[in-house]
């Protein structure tokens, strides 16, 4: 029996025991379902509902609660389980210090995929207000580049960037065939590089996959929070600005090198630009500028 199978059996027993204990406390519970990486069951009380998930992997098992953190049933189950980590927290207080991680470029036909991790500490808050640190999608490109220069000057040791240029990106995608797996690798590498300098206990990642995907990728003693719209946290916002700035700098540099303005995005006008580069500069140069798995590539010769 493999290590994972052993932990799967332990996770099943844990889920069964939890279910029985909750039944004894007069909660209604559903049957236990086996998913790819976890056992799970629903818990009901009147019109309220929560879900218990018991994950298993090569390093052990982990019990999670999924539901509305403000609900009565959620808080009751929290006190029963005592010390679990939760999904879907609505009003999370920003940790005193943590590593925030975000990416840019995954939706652009041209250019690299850029991932940045930033080590944020509470003493930076006042400075971040002055710098106008917020979600990069809420700032124009000119301002992003200005803020990036200030972050680089003031906090250069506080961030790590993984910049995967198109040639390397296409090699990885050809091998892995999954963008999320590439992102998991890049986020993990940036975060782990930064943890060598800042041994913070918390990590916040702008959510694109479930936390189980990062199992064995980041030290198990770190508390990882996957949040949608995580740019509301200062560290993730700073990471998003840095990643976006690095992407913009690549576009500017390559546009000057080839004498043609390279556009962001993946629209029809982007495809037309790629066709123009192909005609004027050839396939070899084009392949060094684009992500080959995008549908734009298939449309170039149509």
Query: What is the domain count for the chain?
Result: 2
82 vs 217: which has the higher pLDDT? 217
Residue 85 has pLDDT above 60, yes or no: no
The CATH number given to whatever domain includes residue 180 is 3.30.420.10
Note whether 221 and 117 are same-domain residues: yes
Over residues 91-140, the pLDDT tens digits come to 466 888 999 999 999 999 999 999 999 999 999 999 999 999 988 888 99
Give the end of a domain, one of 86, 116, 143: 86
pTM: 0.71
> Tokens 């840095």 sit at which residue?
242
Q: Are residues 71 and 130 in the same domain?
A: no
Confidence (pLDDT) at 48: 82
In a domain, 157, yes or no: yes
122 and 234 assigned to the same domain: yes
Question: What confidence tier does 187 reach under pLDDT thresholds 50, 70, 90?
Answer: very high
Query: What is the predicted pLDDT for the residue at 87?
Result: 37
Residue 208 lies inside a defined structural domain of this protein: yes
Least confident span in 34-48, 54-68, 120-134, 222-236: 54-68
Whether residues 108 and 82 share a domain: the answer is no
How confident is the model at residue 86, as a pLDDT?
A: 38
Residue 90 has pLDDT above 50, yes or no: no
Domain that holds residue 124: 97-250
Residues 174 and 219 in one domain: yes
Biggest CA–CA distance in the chain, Å, is 74
Whether 37 is covered by a domain: the verdict is yes
Q: What is the pLDDT of residue 1?
A: 58
Whether residue 40 is found in the same domain as residue 154: no
């Amino acid at each position: 029996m493999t290590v994972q199978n052993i932990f799967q059996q332990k996770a099943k027993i844990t889920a069964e025991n939890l279910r029985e204990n909750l039944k004894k406390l007069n909660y209604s519970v559903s049957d236990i379902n086996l998913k790819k990486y976890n056992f799970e069951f629903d818990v009901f009380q009147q019109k309220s509902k929560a879900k218990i998930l018991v994950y298993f992997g090569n390093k052990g098992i982990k019990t999670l609660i999924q539901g509305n953190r403000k609900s009565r049933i959620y808080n009751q189950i929290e006190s029963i389980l005592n010390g679990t980590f939760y999904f879907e927290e609505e009003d999370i207080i920003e940790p005193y210090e943590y590593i925030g991680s975000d990416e840019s470029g995954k939706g652009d036909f041209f250019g690299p995929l850029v991932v940045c991790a930033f080590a944020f500490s509470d003493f930076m808050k006042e400075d971040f207000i002055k710098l106008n640190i917020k979600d990069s999608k809420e700032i124009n490109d000119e301002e992003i580049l200005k803020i990036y220069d200030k972050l680089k000057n003031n906090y250069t040791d506080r961030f790590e960037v993984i910049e995967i240029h198109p040639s390397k990106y296409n090699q990885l995608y050809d091998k892995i065939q999954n963008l999320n797996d590439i992102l998991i690798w890049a986020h993990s590498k940036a975060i782990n590089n930064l943890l060598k300098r800042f041994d913070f206990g918390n990590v916040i990642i702008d959510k694109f996959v479930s936390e189980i995907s990062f199992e064995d990728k980041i030290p198990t003693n770190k508390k990882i929070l996957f949040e949608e719209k995580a740019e509301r946290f200062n560290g993730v916002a700073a990471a998003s600005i840095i990643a976006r700035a690095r992407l913009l700098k690549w576009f500017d540099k390559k546009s000057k090198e080839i004498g043609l303005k390279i556009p962001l995005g993946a629209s029809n006008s982007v495809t037309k630009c790629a066709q123009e580069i192909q005609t004027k500069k050839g396939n070899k140069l084009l392949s060094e500028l684009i992500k080959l798995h995008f549908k734009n590539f298939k449309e170039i010769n149509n």
